[in-house]
Chain A
Amino acid sequence: ELKVEQNPLFLSMQEGKNYTIYCNYSTTSDRLYWYRQDPGKSLESLFVLLSNGAVKQEGRLMASLDTKARLSTLHITAAVHDLSATYFCAVAGWETSGSRLTFGEGTQLTVNP
Chain B
Amino acid sequence: KAGVTQTPRYLIKTRGQQVTLSCSPISGHRSVSWYQQTPGQGLQFLFEYFSETQRNKGNFPGRFSGRQFSNSRSEMNVSTLELGDSALYLCASSLDRPTGELFFGEGSRLTVL
List chain A positions with a Cβ less than 8 A from chain B.
Answer: 31, 33, 35, 41-45, 48, 50, 88, 90, 92, 96-106
Contact = CB atoms under 8 A, between A and B. Distances in A.
A99 B48 contact: yes
A88 B37 CA distance: 12
B102 interface: yes
Given A42-B90, A43-B90, A96-B56, A102 B102 contact: no
Contacts of A92: 100
> Number of contact residues on B: which range applies?
20 to 34
Contacts of B33: 98-101
B82 interface: no
A33 B94 CA distance: 13
Contacts of A88: 43
Given A42-B90, A42-B106, A103-B42, A98 B101 contact: no
A106 B42 CA distance: 8
B90 A48 contact: no
Given A98-B56, A100-B48, A103-B42, A42 B101 contact: no
B66 interface: no
A108 B106 CA distance: 19
Contact of A99 (B42, B96, B98, B105): B96
A9 B82 CA distance: 29
B42 A98 contact: no
A102 B43 CA distance: 8
Contacts of A100: 33, 45, 48, 56, 58
